[in-house]
Every structure is written in C-alpha cells, then in structure tokens.
Structure 1
Amino acid sequence: MELITQFFAALYELSNAMAPYILFGLAFAGVLHELVPETLVTKHLGKESIGSVIKSTIFGIPLPVCSCGVIPLATSIKKSGASKGATLSFLISTPITGIDSILATYGMFGWVFTIYRVITSMFIAMAAGILTNIYDKEIIEDVQEEHENSCCANTCSSTSEVEQKFSFSKAMNYAFVTLLGDIAKPLFWGLLIGALITIVIPQNLSDILVEYSWVSYLIAIAIAVPMYVCATASLPIAAALMLSGVSAGAAFVFLSAGPATNTVTIGVVKKMLGTTSLYIYLGTIVFGSVLFGLGLDFIFDINSIDAASLIHMQEEAGLLEILSSIVLWGFMLFFIIKPYFKKLP
C-alpha cells in the first residue's frame, strides 16, 4: 500500500512540474505550425552543402514533430530535391527538440540544461548531415513510404502548396487535437514509467549506476535506440533516472538518442537514403549522445553540481500547476480511450 501511495505522489509531482509548460508549448507549436509553411522548408535544402545542412537543422529544431511524424515530412523534403545530408539532419534535429519539449525541459531542468540540449542536438544533426554529404553521394531512387502503415498515419503533415491565412482555431486544433493526440500515449506512459522508476529502482542499483557511470550509458543507449519515445514524453523518465541517482550525462543520452531513433525510422532511413546513411545516422546519434553526455557529467563534476538538484518539482504545487495537470491528463485520457469507443457497435 505504501508503494502505491509513493507512486501516485511521484506521478502527481511529475505531472504538476511539466503540465503548464507542455500546454503552453503545444499552443505555441500550433501557432508556429500555422505561420511556417512547409514549402519554406523544402526550397532551401537542395544543395549538398554545409549551408543546406545548417538550414535543415535550424528548420527542424522548433518544429513540433515526433520521430515518427517526421517521416512523411522528410520524405517530402527528399522528393522535393533536398540532399541526403539535409534530409538526415532534419530527421535528427526535428524529433529531438520541439517548442513544446524545449519549454517542458526548461520547466523541469532549468535553462542551462535546456540550452545544452538544444545546442548539442544541433551539433549531432549537423555532423550527421555533413558526413552524409561527404561519404554518401551515390544516387538512390526515392521511395515513397506507405504512411498509412506508420505509427502516425493520422497525423502526417500535408505538403500542400496552397497558401492559407492564419487561423487561430486551426492552430489550436493542430496543437490540442493533432499534436497532443500524437504524443498522448507516449506521454502517458512516460509519466507512469517516470513515477515508477522513482520508487522502484533500489538504492543499491542506483549506487552501482553512480559509481560505474559507463554502465548507465550502455543501458540508456540500449533502451533508447529501438524504443519509440517522443522528446516531451522522455522528460519524466529522464527526471526519474536522475532522482534515482543516475548521472545527468546518462539521462541526457536517453533524452538525445531516444526521440531521434526508433525501429520505424531506422527502416525508413535505410530504404530512403541507403545503408551508408543509416550507419552514419545511428553512429552519429550514439557517439554524439555519449560524447555530450560525458561532457555534461564533466561540467557537473568540476562545478560540484548535483544532477538531482536541477529538477524543479515543488512539493506544494500552485493552482496553475494543478489545473494544468488536470487539463493535460484529461486530454491524454481522452485520446487514449477514444479509439476504443470507435470500435463499439
């Protein structure tokens, strides 16, 4: 009974810490989606140059698209003439961050960790794109993916060339129906797993992971690469790991590698860009995540910073946090239960 009480207490704290930033980030993401046409993205990424890679990375950083939702958009960009490097950098930078995830990261970990996460994701994405343009120049026939079979078939982005005026209702519909509907399930499980990790990981395991940080890095990579977890949903899991004694660097590895890869995206990269690009894609993400994770731990060590102290979770949440948490959970449960009602006669 005590464990159940501790679980719901941890879940309550995680939800209250993240909910206001997630909701505000979703609203901002909806506005951004309406203001930035996809045609603006596609026409700047055609050359096999460092410039096109940098542009694709910058385009991808704020876009609120998950690692599965980026597949059709990346396919469209590639078919519109984007280079392999630009396409790959876009595939990496877009799901690692997003305006909703950036704000949620700030709300939970503070601005230093947030800036570090954004900047390092840019370096990883640009490195992958540049290496691809250098070492993978062969021409491979583009293959249109069967998006109806992907995990985000109902939320794929449109590539319509028609210019439309800004619509607030469409922006909010995209934010709280399309986008939140897309991340509701992984966010739900992310919160539950995060709360569970907080109370379940035994102290002796935490001591081992603290003393042998390389073990926690290997575990983070092994879990993150094949797993589908969006950038926002990965935050409570990372926070729980840090609260359990895992280093900030290992948690960063999970936050970086998890959203950028999953089994679906791996298959698409191989089919769309080829085996060489796939190796560069996986190698850059794994190596870059571990390298910057080590860098984060080094910074914490020389400044004697406790990783757990970064996490902003107030014991007594305010009215705004509680209401935001109720709204967020209401939306999540609605989108999780909704498919089952469609199956009823």
Structure 2
Amino acid sequence: MSYITSFFDNYFLLIDAMSIYIMVGLLFAGILKQLVPDDFVSKNLGTDSTGSIIKATIFGIPLPVCSCSVIPIAQGLRKEGASKGAVQSFLISTPITGVDSILATFSFFGLIFTIFRVLSSIIIAIAVGLVQNFLEKESIKKEKTSLKPMFSTTGTSTTSLNSFTPKPTNTSSDSSCGCSSKNEKKSFSIKKVFSYAYVTLFEDMVKALFIGLLLGAAFTTFIPKEYSSLLFENQILTYFVILLFAIPLYTCATASLPIAAAFMIQGMSAGAAFIFLTAGPATSAVTMSVVYKMLGRTSLIVYVSTIAILSLVFGFLFDSIFDKLEILNLSHHMDELSILNRTASILMLLLMFYYLLIPYFSKKSSCCSSETSCCSSSSEV
C-alpha cells in the first residue's frame, strides 16, 4: 500500500512541476501557429547551401510542432524541394526547441540546463545538416567524374551531366499535400489558437506524455537507489547505456522530461540526462525509419551517428563544467505550489484523460450504432 501511495505522490509531483509550463507553452504555440504563414518554411529551404540549413534550424526553434507531428511536415518539405541537410536539421531542432519543450525543461532543470540544451541542440542540428550536404556534394562530384569518359568532348556533355544533379520539385500545386496553392493571408483567431494548442497539439502528445509520467513515477518509486547507483557510478558507461536506451525509444521532447527527472532522482548525472533528452526525441525508431525511406541509408547513418557523437560530447561537457551545480528543481515544488499551478495540473489531467478516453468511447458508440443498424436491417427482413 505504501508503494501505491508513493507512486501517486511521485506522479502528481511530476505533473505539478511541469503542468503550468506545458499549458502556457501550448498557448504560445497556438499563437505562433496563427502568426507564422503556412508556407513560410517551405519557401526558404530549397537549396543545398549552408544558409538553408541554418534557416531550417532557426525556423524550427519557435514552430509549434512536437516530435509526433514534425515527421509529416519534414516529408512535405522534402517533396517541395528542401535539401536533405535542411530536412534533417529541421527534424532535430523543431521538437527539442519548441516553446512547450523549452518551458517544461525550465520547470524541471532550471535556466542553465535549459539554455545549454537549446544552444547545443541548435549546434547539433546545424552540424548534421552540414555533414549531410557535404557528403551529398561529394557523391554528386564522384558521379560526374565517373560519367565523364562516357561522353564526348562536344557541348552535349554538359547538358547530359546536368540531368544527374538533383533539382527541387515544385509540388505546391499538388492537391495531395493537403495545402492550398493560394497565398491567402489568414486572419488571427483566438478560437483557432486554443483549438490548435489544446486540441491538435495536446492530442498529438497526450499518449507519450501520459506514458512518460507513468514511467517517471515508476522509476522513482520502484527502483531502489542502491541498484540504480551501481549503474550511475561509472559516468562514461552511463552515457553509452543511456544513449543505447534513448535511440530507439519513441518519446516526444516534452514527455521525455519526467523520465529524465526520475533518472536524476535515482542518481544519474545531468550530462546523461542531456543525452537522453537529445537522442530520445531526435532518433526514435519511427523517425529513423522515415529518414531511411525519405533520404536513404547514407543519410540515416549520418543522422544517427552525428547526433549520437555530439550528444555524448555535450553531455560530457555539461558534467565537466557544471558538475557541482544543483540542477533538479523538484524538491521545492510541493512547498511552493500556487493556486495557478494546481489549476494548471487539474486542467492538464482533465485534458489527458479526456483525449485518452475519447477513442474508447468512440469505438463503443460506433459498435452500438453498427449493432443498431444490424438489428434494424434484420427486423426489416
């Protein structure tokens, strides 16, 4: 019985620590969605230049998109002609440095860790894009070099070789993308702000968030510190174990925070938590399969290996520089809870259970309606 009580105490402790920041972050995300034009990103990422990578990274920072919904957007950008490097940079920076994720990171780990996470994520995103575009240009050069003997020295060779250079495809008029080709200026709508924030975005992340909170509370409650400290004693070993655990795990940037907090309560270093929070959202099994299908095997190797290496480097740097800094803020939250915090926690819980129970009741109602129709059809016979 004491374990159950402790589990729920830890569960609500995690919710109280992040609820106000998530609710406010989602609101900002909804406002940004109204202010940023729908085609603003796709218009600026069409070349293989360094500028397109930096733009993709910067554009991804404020955009109101979580780890769950960034994948279809990245696919759309690629179809509209964005370079491989720009797409990869966008995939990394967007979910990790979203408004809701930044505020939730601050709620758990404080200002220094949050700034470090944002800046290092930007560097990682740019580095992945630069490596990808460099290798892409090298492979194109090799193709051209190997094809030269096949052509004569006439003026037709240049034209033939140009056909091997990938060109961006303009699919803005393609109805399959679900976007309007007209550049209509959208009017600001408060209703759409709340609808996007607390319906579209929250529904996207609710399952991952719920599971993340459960796992965080479970790790804190049921794993004895004596056992977990054995793993966390060896700092370098911890880095690699956490990296291997995080890479295939499908969790969004915000939902991974309570799990990282639980690991730190058990004695894990802040640098290892950084590795988990960087590699987890950026390299899930789902994201890796999409990168492989969309960009190819070489791009996937570049994507995963660069993220893994730089995550380890930045994790080690954080522990080396800030090893004596107290990062985790959870110990003080229970005493400092305000009415606003408690209200945000209640609202977030209500929204979570609402969106988690909707599929169950909708299936049940559809079954009932189908049974009714069947009954009515049988009675007619």
- Shorter-chain TM-score above 0.5: yes
Contact 1:209 1:245 in 2 (8 A): no
Q: 1:331 to 1:186 in 2, by over 3 A?
A: same
Contact 2:53 2:130 in 1 (8 A): yes
1:48-106 Cα shifts (integer Å, max 9, x gaps): 11111111001111223223311111111112221111111001111222101111111
Matched, 1:270 2:292: yes
Contact 1:242 1:307 in 2 (8 A): no
Contact 2:62 2:97 in 1 (8 A): yes
1:209-228 superposed matches below 5 A: 209-228=231-250
Contact 2:68 2:204 in 1 (8 A): no
Select the residue among 328, 333, 341 that pairs with 1:314: 333
1:115 aligns with 115
1:281-320 superposed matches below 5 A: 281-301=303-323, 304-308=324-328, 310-311=329-330, 313-316=332-335, 317-320=337-340
**How far 1:40 sits from its partner (Å)?**
1.0
Contact 1:16 1:322 in 2 (8 A): yes
2:371 aligns with none
Q: Return the TM-score normalized by structure 2.
A: 0.82
- Give the Cα separation in 1 of the matches to 2:309 and 2:343: 41
- Give the Cα separation in 2 of the matches to 1:335 and 1:313: 30
Secondary structure of residue in 2 paired with 1:40: coil
Select the residue among 310, 327, 332 that pairs with 2:352: 332
Letter in 2 for 1:33: K
Secondary structure of residue in 1 paired with 2:273: helix
1:254-265 superposed matches below 5 A: 254-265=276-287
1:64 aligns with 64
What value does the CA root-mean-square deviation take over the aligned residues? 1.9
1:149 aligns with none
**How far 1:119 sits from its partner (Å)?**
0.5
4+ aligned runs moved over 3 Å, structure 1 = 137-143, 157-162, 310-313
The higher radius of gyration belongs to 2
Greater CA drift, 200-209 or 181-190: 200-209
Letter in 2 for 1:130: L
**How far 1:313 sits from its partner (Å)?**
4.3
Matched, 1:197 2:219: yes
Overall identity of the aligned pairs, in %: 50
1:225-236 superposed matches below 5 A: 225-236=247-258
Q: 1:288 to 1:160 in 2, by over 3 A?
A: farther
Secondary structure of residue in 2 paired with 1:110: helix
Letter in 2 for 1:341: F
2:55 aligns with 55
- Give the Cα separation in 2 of the matches to 1:103 and 1:64: 13
Q: 1:24 to 1:158 in 2, by over 3 A?
A: farther
Letter in 1 for 2:315: G
Contact 2:292 2:300 in 1 (8 A): yes
- Give the Cα separation in 1 of the matches to 2:232 and 2:58: 35
Q: 1:140 to 1:239 in 2, by over 3 A?
A: farther
Secondary structure of residue in 2 paired with 1:51: helix
1:254-299 Cα shifts (integer Å, max 9, x gaps): 1001111212211111111111111111011111111111111111
Greater CA drift, 51-60 or 88-97: 88-97
Letter in 1 for 2:334: E
1:112-151 Cα shifts (integer Å, max 9, x gaps): 11111110100110000000110024567999xxxxxxxx
Q: 1:244 to 1:164 in 2, by over 3 A?
A: same
- Give the Cα separation in 1 of the matches to 2:180 and 2:115: 33
2:301 aligns with 279
Secondary structure of residue in 1 paired with 2:44: coil
**How far 1:216 sits from its partner (Å)?**
2.1
1:1-47 Cα shifts (integer Å, max 9, x gaps): 11111111111111111100100000110011111123111111112
Q: Give the count of matched residue pairs.
A: 329
Letter in 2 for 1:327: L
Q: 1:215 to 1:126 in 2, by over 3 A?
A: same
User: Could you list the runs of 5+ residues in structure 2 that have no partner in the other structure?
Assistant: 141-164, 170-176, 369-381
**How far 1:208 sits from its partner (Å)?**
1.7
1:86 aligns with 86
1:160 aligns with 180
